[in-house]
Structure formats: structure tokens, C-alpha cells
């Protein structure tokens, strides 16, 4: 529907504007860190780092995800958004854009150099937190629109299983809704009153815990739309079939259940949480790996069966049958490929003893540049090459396709240099989030410098990749008129029927709530009741 198309494009334009400004901040901060440049006009390293993180990790992703999911829900649930849903989409967009403008203005004027994780004891201007609150509330409003569209569809299609894309989109927003309750509580109850000076102290441990209650599912909020593309879109693009609708739904249900009660794996090195609760959440963390392994299995099955149908021979003959010259496949595929080492890094992080080696080092920065900034970002770029033409009634030309392939290669090369150097130097103990320093010419710190230079070189290649991507988006918006189909895959003919219980929303939401209550109730009560127990790590500032 042309009106829905406008909504989708509005979200995408803000997303790519954020990518551009965030990319500039990213380039500058990596050059400062390596000592290659000094910042003029009293600009600070932490200002740039915050702008980079907030714009890339929070604004680019959230706007892109909503635009993408709205497009697919409109397409698969009736071909058009209900008027009330479209209004929710626009209201959400307005709130999110206003919140982003306010938050970014605070960061760029040096009033909110609190990094993208923004928990206490670092304090920002209250207007930064108000901006964040608007962003989150806006995303809720958009999510409620999606829930309503599915509810309406179910009412008019009694007894039918919802389309896979819509199911996945709704579950992603359900997870987001539950996860953002933590950050909303942190911002509204703790950070805003404290930053306005209405209260003098803040419970730091509680603030960090509420943040990570949200912070880990946040990474699955980025990943799930990428999985939607891998499960539903990629089979159609290569000319194959979805391996199993039921398996895909089960993977998403497992992501809903296990992606939230695991925030403590970001706090393994904190003394204020008892080892038992950390242990429990690490076990749950290893559970959340299962749906990713299922996804890998399902993708290999789709690729292999597609190749064999076309006569591929031998164990890996199907590999050469894949459409390597099509950027709509190539970019997401590189994302999948890189997710293998990226996910392995996650397993290392999640293991308590190994976490003691890597925590707060550049290894972690390397990990998330492979996961969100490569696997997810490349998939989102790959989606852009068909999504913009589809909703604007245009076509992807061979020249744009070529530029897209070049962009993907640039991204992979830049990331190999940057993230590779981050992983290595992190293992030598180089801390994350520090401006240029040699720690008074300490020999260890001096030995890290060549890696920082590699990071800056990789960062520069990536910046060229950002510029090319923004150029490609502009070119797609002005591409020749024509028709591009929305690529929704179909399930294999011989796949088993999807069981109806996979759509028992009440059951899955209740199970998710139970797991969260088990993992968090006692530690949270402990933190609230003993806010000043300094020796246990509960600090009030
Ligand atoms: Fe992580 C820190 C553990 C996944 C993002 N993570 C972070 C941070 C970010 C982040 C942003 O346990 C930093 C936060 C901060 O600022 O402090 N992470 C994990 C684990 C996983 C994981 C266990 N992370 C992600 C994803 C992210 C992301 C996904 C973004 C999108 N992470 C941690 C931990 C920390 C952490 C600790 C805290 C560290 C610390 O101490 O601070 C797992 O979900 C990973 C499972 C993935 C797999 C891979 C499956 C492979 C697939 C691809 C198949 C490929 C095909 C193509 C089919 C098991 C699905 C191949 C074809 C061929 C032909 C070969």
C-alpha cells in the first residue's frame, strides 16, 4: 500500500541518517584512540564514543527494524496496515524521532557523555534520559500497532496459522516490550529523578542490573529481524524453500523465553551478585544459544537442498550453486558466515572463567562489531537493496547491485582488520573505552599501539563503506521505476504441518514471565533491600 510505503521509507531514512552521523563519530573516535589525530574545539573522546554507540547501535537498528517489520506485516497480513495501525506507526515514528533529536543534541553538546550503556554512576543531562524515554515509548506504540494488526488478522482468519513473517515480527516486538520494561524503570524511577537533583543518591548496582535486564535482549532485538531475513527472505531470493516453518517458529519462541533472564552474563565480574544467580543465568545463556544452532542447521538445509535439487554433487557441491553475484543474497550471507566466529566469541564471553580474561577489554568491542555491526548490519544492508525498490515501485539496477557487492566486500575487509585487531589486543589486556593513553609509556600499553593503528585503518575502510551505503540508499530511492516483488519464501512441500500450539501466545508469555521471575526476583530484592552494602559491591553515589 503506497501509504504504508511512506511510513516504511520514513523509518529507513532516519535509520541511514543515523548510520552516517554515527559513522563520522566512529571514524573520529577510533583515530583519537590510536593517537592519529587530536580533536579540535574542546570536543571529547567520550562524546564521540557515546554518539557513535547511540546512533549506530540504538537509533540505526531500532528505526530500521520497525520499518522492515512494518513493511512485511503490511505485506503478509492483508496487504495493507489498518488505519489505526498506520497511525500508531506514525505516532511511534514522531515520538522516536523527537526523542532521538533531543538525546543526540545532548550528546553532541557534551551534556551526555555516558556511553550507549548510560547506567549509573555516570550522569547525563535529564533531557538525554527524557529523549531515551521518548524513543522507547515510541517503539512501544509502533509495537502495539503490530500486535493489533495480528489480532485483527486472527479474528478474520479463524483457525489459521499466521504467516511466518508476521509471527516472527510480533514475537520480536513482544520480547522488546518485556525487555524494555527494565530500562524504562531504570530511566523513569532512577536516572531522571537523580539527574534533576530530586534525589541525592542512586543505587548503582540496581541501575546496572536493570540496564542489563534490557541490554542483553536488546542484542536479540537486533538479531531476530536478521533471522527473519535468513529464514523467510533468503530462501525466496535464492529460489529455494524454507526448510521448516515449525522449526523457525520454535527458534523464535526459544529466543523469547531465553533472551531475557540472562543479563547477569554481562555482570559476571561484579561482586554484588551472588555466584548462584550468576550460575543460573549462565545456564540460561547457554540455552539461548540453542535457537541460533537451530538457525544454522535450518540455513544449511535450505542451501543444500536447493543445490541438490539443481543437481549439485558431493558434500559441498551445492555451495557453488548459490547466487554469489546477487547482493540481496551476498550481503546477508557474509553476515551469516561471520556469525559463526562471532557466536563462538559469545560462548567464550559467557563462560565465567574466560569472561574474567576478556571482560572490559577490547575483545568485547571486537565481539559486538562482528555480531551487531557485521552479521546484523550486513543483513540489514542486504534487505535494503530489495526493500526500498519494493516499497517505492522501483528496481535494483545491475550497477547498483555491483556497488552493493563492493560495499559488502569493503565492510568485510574493514571489519576483519578492525575487529580482528580488537580481539587480539583484547587478549593482551587492552581495555575498552579509553581515549589515547600510553599509561606513562608502560611497555604493555606501548605494545598495544600497532593494534590500535590497525583498528584505525579498519575503521577508515568501514567509514568508506558507510559512505558507499548511504550513496546506495540515495541511488535506490531514485532508481528507475518498475516492479519489485516482496520476497517472502514458502515452506518445502514435504515439511510437516506447523502445530497450532506454537501460536499459544498466553503459554509462551507466561513461561517467559516465570523464567524472568525465577532469575531476577531474589537478586533484585537483595539489591533494593541492601543498597549500601559496600563490601558486597552495592555502592550508592
Ligand atoms: Fe554478545 C557482550 C555472550 C550473541 C552483542 N554482546 C556483548 C555486547 C554486545 C553483544 C553489543 O556472556 C557488549 C555489551 C557491552 O557494551 O558491554 N553474545 C553472547 C552469546 C551469544 C551472543 C552467548 N552478542 C550476540 C549477538 C549480538 C551480541 C547476536 C548482537 C547482535 N555477549 C555475550 C557475553 C557478553 C557479550 C557474555 C558480555 C561480555 C563482557 O564481559 O562484557 C550467542 O547468542 C551466540 C550464539 C551464536 C551462534 C552462531 C550460530 C551461527 C549461525 C550462522 C550459520 C551460518 C551459515 C552460513 C548457515 C552459536 C546461525 C555458513 C555457510 C558456510 C558455507 C560455512
Query: What pLDDT was estimated at residue 35?
Result: 86
Residue 265 annotated to the active site: no
Residue 157 annotated to the active site: no
Residue written as cell 550497477? 399
80 ligand 1 Cβ < 6 A: no
355 ligand 1 Cβ < 6 A: yes
Query: What pLDDT was estimated at residue 538?
Result: 42
347 ligand 1 Cβ < 6 A: yes
Mean pLDDT by 10 residues, the chain (541 residues): 94 98 95 87 90 97 98 95 97 98 96 95 96 98 97 94 97 97 97 96 93 97 98 97 96 97 94 91 96 97 94 91 97 98 97 95 98 98 98 97 98 98 97 92 95 95 98 98 96 89 95 97 91 47 37
Query: What pLDDT was estimated at residue 218?
Result: 97
CA distance linking residue 74 with residue 149, whole number of Å = 9
Residue 432 annotated to the active site: yes
Give strand pairing partners of 242. 491
CA distance linking residue 254 with residue 157, whole number of Å = 26
Cell of 41: 574545539
ipTM computed for the complex? 0.97
Whether 190 and 527 have beta carbons less than 8 Å apart is answered as no
216 ligand 1 Cβ < 6 A: no
Distances (CA, A) of 299 to 233, 303, 304, 337, 497: 12, 6, 8, 11, 19
- Ligand 1 mean position, distance from CA 372 (Å): 8
User: Per residue in 386-397, pLDDT tens?
Assistant: 999 999 999 999
Query: What pLDDT was estimated at residue 39?
Result: 86
364 ligand 1 Cβ < 6 A: yes
- Ligand 1 mean position, distance from CA 59 (Å): 20
User: Per residue in 16-60, pLDDT tens?
Assistant: 999 999 999 999 999 998 888 888 887 889 999 999 999 999 999
Comparing CA positions, the residue from 43, 66, 53, 55 lying closest to residue 101 is: 55
Specify the residue with its C-alpha closest to ligand 1, atom 8: 368
Pocket probe for ligand 1: among 247, 286, 304, 343, the residue whose CB has the most ligand atoms within 8 Å is: 343
278 ligand 1 Cβ < 6 A: no
Backbone angles phi, psi at 491, to 5 degrees: -80, 155
* Active-site residue (options: 173, 368, 380, 385): 368
3-state SS, one letter per residue, for 8-55: HHHHHHHHHHHHHHHHHHHHHHHHHHCCCCCCCCCCCHHHHHHHHHHH
CA distance linking residue 342 with residue 327, whole number of Å = 22
Residue written as cell 533472551? 259
Specify the residue with its C-alpha closest to ligand 1, atom 16: 117
CA distance linking residue 225 with residue 243, whole number of Å = 18
Pocket probe for ligand 1: among 332, 349, 373, the residue whose CB has the most ligand atoms within 8 Å is: 349
pTM: 0.96
Cell of 472: 546506495
104 ligand 1 Cβ < 6 A: no
CA distance linking residue 316 with residue 308, whole number of Å = 10
CA distance linking residue 229 with residue 218, whole number of Å = 18
C-alpha Rg value of the chain to the nearest Å: 23
CA distance linking residue 265 with residue 273, whole number of Å = 11
Comparing CA positions, the residue from 272, 254, 424, 264 lying closest to residue 350 is: 264
Whether 56 and 16 have beta carbons less than 8 Å apart is answered as no
CA distance linking residue 53 with residue 171, whole number of Å = 26
CA distance linking residue 417 with residue 456, whole number of Å = 9
Cell of 312: 549439485
Query: What pLDDT was estimated at residue 532?
Result: 61
Residue written as cell 593503528? 453
Query: What pLDDT was estimated at residue 533?
Result: 52
Query: What pLDDT was estimated at residue 534?
Result: 41
218: alpha, beta or left? (left if phi > 0; alpha if psi -120 to 50): alpha
Query: What pLDDT was estimated at residue 536?
Result: 44
Comparing CA positions, the residue from 532, 541, 518 lying closest to residue 272 is: 532
Query: What pLDDT was estimated at residue 425?
Result: 97
Amino acid at each position: 500500500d503506497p501509504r504504508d510505503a511512506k511510513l516504511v521509507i520514513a523509518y529507513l531514512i532516519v535509520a541511514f541518517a543515523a548510520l552516517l552521523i554515527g559513522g563520522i563519530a566512529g571514524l573520529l573516535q577510533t583515530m583519537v584512540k590510536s593517537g592519529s589525530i587530536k580533536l579540535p574545539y574542546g570536543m571529547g573522546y567520550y562524546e564521540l564514543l557515546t554518539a557513535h554507540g547511540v546512533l549506530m547501535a540504538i537509533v540505526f537498528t531500532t528505526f530500521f527494524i520497525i520499518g522492515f517489520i512494518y513493511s512485511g506485516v503490511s505485506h503478509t497480513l492483508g496487504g495493507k496496515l489498518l488505519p489505526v495501525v498506520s497511525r500508531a506507526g506514525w505516532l511511534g515514528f514522531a515520538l522516536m524521532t523527537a526523542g532521538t533529536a533531543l538525546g543526540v543534541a545532548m550528546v553532541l553538546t557534551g551534556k551526555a557523555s555516558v556511553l550507549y550503556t548510560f547506567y549509573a554512576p555516570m550522569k547525563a543531562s535529564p533531557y538525554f534520559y527524557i529523549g531515551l524515554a521518548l524513543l522507547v515509548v515510541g517503539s512501544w506504540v509502533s509495537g502495539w500497532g503490530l500486535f493489533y494488526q495480528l489480532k485483527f488478522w486472527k479474528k478474520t482468519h479463524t483457525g489459521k496459522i499466521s504467516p511466518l513473517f508476521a509471527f516472527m515480527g510480533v514475537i520480536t516486538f513482544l520480547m522488546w516490550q518485556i525487555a524494555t520494561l527494565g530500562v524504562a524503570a531504570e530511566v523513569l524511577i532512577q536516572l531522571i529523578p537523580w539527574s534533576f537533583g530530586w534525589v541525592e543518591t542512586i543505587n548503582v548496582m540496581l541501575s546496572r542490573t536493570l540496564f542489563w535486564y534490557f541490554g542483553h535482549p536488546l542484542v536479540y532485538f537486533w538479531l531476530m529481524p536478521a533471522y527473519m531475513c535468513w529464514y523467510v527472505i533468503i530462501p525466496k531470493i535464492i529460489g529455494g524453500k524454507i526448510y521448516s516453518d515449525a522449526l523457525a517458529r520454535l527458534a523464535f519462541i526459544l529466543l523469547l523465553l531465553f533472551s531475557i533472564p540472562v543479563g547477569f552474563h554481562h555482570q559476571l565480574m561484579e561482586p554484588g551478585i551472588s555466584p548462584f544467580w550468576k550460575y543460573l543465568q549462565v545456564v540460561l545463556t547457554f540455552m539461548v544459544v540453542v535457537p541460533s544452532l537451530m538457525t544454522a542447521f535450518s540455513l544449511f538445509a535450505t542451501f543444500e537442498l536447493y543445490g541438490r535439487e539443481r543437481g549439485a554433487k558431493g558434500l559441498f557441491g551445492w555451495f557453488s550453486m548459490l547466487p554469489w553475484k546477487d547482493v540481496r543474497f551476498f550481503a546477508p550471507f557474509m553476515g551469516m558466515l561471520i556469525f559463526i566466529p562471532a557466536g563462538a566469541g559469545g560462548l567464550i564471553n559467557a563462560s565465567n572463567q574466560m569472561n574474567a580474561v576478556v571482560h572490559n577489554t577490547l575483545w568485547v568491542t571486537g565481539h559486538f562489531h562482528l555480531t551487531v555491526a557485521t552479521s546484523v548490519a550486513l543483513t540489514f544492508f542486504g534487505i535494503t537493496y530489495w526493500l526500498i525498490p519494493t516499497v517505492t515501485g522501483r528496481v535494483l539496477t545491475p550497477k547498483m547491485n555491483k556497488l552493493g557487492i563492493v560495499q559488502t566486500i569493503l565492510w568485510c575487509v574493514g571489519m576483519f582488520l578492525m575487529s580482528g585487531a580488537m580481539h587480539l589486543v583484547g587478549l593482551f589486556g587492552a581495555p575498552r573505552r579509553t581515549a589515547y593513553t600510553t599509561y606513562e609509556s608502560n611497555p604493555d600499553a606501548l605494545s598495544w599501539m600497532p593494534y590500535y593503528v590497525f583498528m584505525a585503518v579498519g575503521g577508515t575502510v568501514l567509514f568508506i563503506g558507510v559512505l558507499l551505503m548511504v550513496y546506495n540508499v540515495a541511488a535506490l530511492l531514485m532508481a528507475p521505476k518498475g516492479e519489485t516483488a516482496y520476497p517472502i519464501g514458502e515452506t518445502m512441500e514435504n515439511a510437516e504441518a506447523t502445530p497450532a500450539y506454537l501460536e499459544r501466545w498466553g503459554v509462551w508469555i507466561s513461561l517467559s514471565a516465570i523464567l524472568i521471575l525465577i532469575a531476577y526476583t531474589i537478586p533484585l530484592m537483595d539489591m533494593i533491600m541492601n543498597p549500601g552494602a559496600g563490601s558486597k559491591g552495592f555502592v550508592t553515589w
